[in-house]
């Protein structure tokens, strides 16, 4: 894609197959992490405090230049920086496979399952799927400049959503009214609804259009300015509202279409006069619309369907982006195809769009077993769609039946489990990790001992690292590999 760096962060749910387990999901998650780093030696653990809730040993960088770490008790995987859709999809799947492979090596497959979804049906907890897009510092990062992006994000769920049974309870939050920040409860009581099925998992948990904080005030656009690159040149668009996708097609289309809309905004070609009257409410109404008409009221008081709004963005992208590279043309062709099919029977989208695939499976089972939508068995099947165990997950059943198009191959995913993309700074970071693995035993005692020293043997962050005895090595440009420079830096003699 043109001038774009992509990244994904996935938080995983962990399901224990025991009524009264002796150990918690956090304990199992820590065992998985420790086995991956200490036994499999897939990377090096942090030796420094990354934050008050990320002590030494909490997580670390992998040989593929991504990260696996603990976040509030659950496992999270952050992909390396990727410059193509093929690489980001392969890197995303690599995280799934690394963790599932570790579970199998530990002999835990019958005890636990990793679930790549975004909700807990019992507690209303939500697990994040965060998207990262590099843009120029000149990007119009203001309410007015971001208005087209908000409209696009609210409506893209019709092909990016992963679907769920039911709905979460009303979410409380602090929201902005004029120049004041007030609790949402001040707006009056909100009543929850019981739904058979909705097309997105995260929409119930999004409570603001713009907000800086992440937890409890999740916004359509996160406004935190943390570029993880040269701040004079770049900004990182960090999105929290999306669902974790199982299909490679949906992952690529989600990232590809969003990347093109960001390009349209950067170049001043985004469609105008599509500002939504109440974006958060529209986000949830689209997801919960059982008739799938997906009507949206604009600030102009005009009503349009989400499909029509997406078609406006597609028309602009076809006019201004077509022909710029092969991946762009693939995105435009598939965007056209999926919007066309959304006008008809949703079953034509099975295998490409997660919510449609899940709904078809649930409807088929429900009708065969004569079940109501509130039957607990359907919630179990909802989760099983996202099970990373290929012998159990319903998505993998569709894949085995040939109903799911692939954008990668198993061989490409295996490579992405070990190696970084060759055209971003992840390549240089991967060289660093492999260098350190040659000298580090990976033992827990080593981590604890070195973390208590005045300066550990290494400190690694996304845009800079330092090895003890050498100067810090900044990597401010995500488009550079830094490979030769990193190797020279590591091979230099310490005086």
Cα(184)–Cα(254) distance, integer angstroms: 30
Lowest mean pLDDT among 219-228, 352-361, 428-437: 219-228
Domain-wise residue ranges, the chain = 1-116+408-495, 139-385
pLDDT of residue 195: 87
SS3 226: coil
Q: What is the pLDDT of residues 263-316, one digit of tens each?
A: 999 999 999 999 999 999 999 999 999 999 999 999 999 999 999 999 999 999
CB atoms within 10 A of CB 322: 11
> Is pLDDT of 190 > 50?
no
Say yes or no to pLDDT of 214 above 50. Answer: yes
Q: What is the pTM of this model?
A: 0.92
Half-sphere exposure of 473 toward its Cβ, with a 13 Å CA cutoff?
Answer: 24
pLDDT for position 495: 45
CA distance 385 to 383: 5
| pLDDT per position as a tens digit, 430-439 | 999 999 999 7
- Tens of pLDDT, residue by residue over 232-248, are 999 999 999 999 999 99
CA angle 419, 420, 425 (to 5 degrees): 150
Give the per-residue pLDDT at 445: 46
How many angstroms from the chain centroid is the CA of residue 271?
26
Query: Sorting pLDDT into bands at 50, 70 and 90, what band is 394?
Result: very high
Q: In what order do the strands lie in the sheet with 464-467?
A: 458-460, 464-467, 473-474
Catalytic residues: 71
Query: What are the tens digits of pLDDT across the range 438-450?
Result: 976 544 445 545 5
Helix (H) or strand (E) holding 239: strand 234-239
Please write the tens of the pLDDT for every residue from 17-69: 988 898 999 999 999 999 999 999 999 999 999 988 889 999 999 999 999 99
């Amino acid at each position: 894609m043109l001038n774009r760096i992509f990244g994904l962060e996935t938080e995983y749910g962990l399901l224990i197959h025991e009524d009264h387990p002796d150990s918690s999901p956090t304990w199992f998650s820590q065992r998985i992490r420790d086995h991956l780093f200490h036994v499999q030696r897939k990377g090096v653990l942090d030796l420094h405090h990354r934050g008050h809730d990320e002590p030494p040993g909490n997580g670390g960088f992998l040989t593929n230049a991504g990260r696996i770490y603990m976040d509030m008790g659950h496992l999270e995987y952050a992909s390396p920086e990727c410059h193509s859709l093929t690489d980001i999809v392969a890197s995303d799947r690599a995280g799934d496979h690394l963790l599932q492979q570790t579970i199998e090596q530990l002999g835990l497959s019958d005890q636990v399952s990793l679930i790549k979804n975004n909700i807990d049906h019992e507690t209303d907890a939500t697990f994040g799927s965060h998207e990262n897009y590099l843009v120029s510092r000149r990007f119009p990062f203001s309410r007015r400049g971001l208005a087209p992006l908000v409209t696009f994000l609210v409506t893209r769920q019709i092909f990016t959503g992963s679907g769920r049974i039911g709905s979460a309870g009303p979410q409380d939050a602090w929201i902005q009214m004029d120049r004041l920040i007030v609790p949402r409860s001040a707006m009056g009581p909100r009543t929850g609804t019981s739904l058979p099925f909705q097309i997105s998992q995260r929409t119930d948990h999004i409570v603001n259009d713009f907000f800086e904080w992440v937890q409890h005030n999740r916004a359509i656009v996160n406004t935190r300015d943390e570029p993880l690159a040269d701040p004079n040149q770049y900004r990182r668009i960090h999105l929290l509202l999306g669902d974790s996708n199982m299909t490679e097609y949906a992952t690529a289309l989600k990232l590809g279409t969003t990347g093109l809309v960001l390009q349209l905004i950067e170049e001043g070609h985004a469609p105008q006069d599509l500002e939504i009257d109440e974006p958060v409410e529209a986000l949830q109404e689209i997801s919960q619309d059982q008739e799938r008409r997906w009507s949206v009221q604009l600030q102009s008081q005009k009503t349009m369907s989400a499909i029509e709004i997406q078609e406006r963005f597609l028309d602009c992208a076809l006019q201004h982006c077509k022909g710029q590279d092969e991946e762009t043309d693939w995105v435009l062709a598939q965007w056209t195809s999926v919007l066309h099919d959304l006008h008809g029977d949703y079953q034509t989208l099975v295998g490409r769009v997660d919510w449609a695939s899940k709904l078809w499976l649930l409807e088929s089972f429900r009708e065969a077993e004569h079940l109501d939508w509130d039957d607990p068995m359907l919630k179990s099947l909802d989760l099983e769609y996202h099970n990373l165990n290929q012998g159990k997950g319903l998505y993998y059943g569709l894949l085995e039946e040939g109903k799911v198009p692939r954008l990668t191959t198993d061989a490409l995913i295996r490579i992405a489990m070990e190696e970084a993309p060759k055209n971003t700074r992840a390549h240089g970071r991967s060289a660093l990790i492999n260098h350190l693995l040659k000298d580090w035993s990976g033992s827990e005692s080593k981590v604890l001992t070195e973390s208590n020293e005045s300066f550990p043997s290494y400190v690694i962050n996304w845009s800079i690292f330092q090895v003890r005895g050498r100067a810090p090595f900044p990597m401010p440009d995500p488009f550079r590999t830094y490979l030769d420079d990193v190797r020279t830096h590591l091979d230099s003699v310490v005086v």
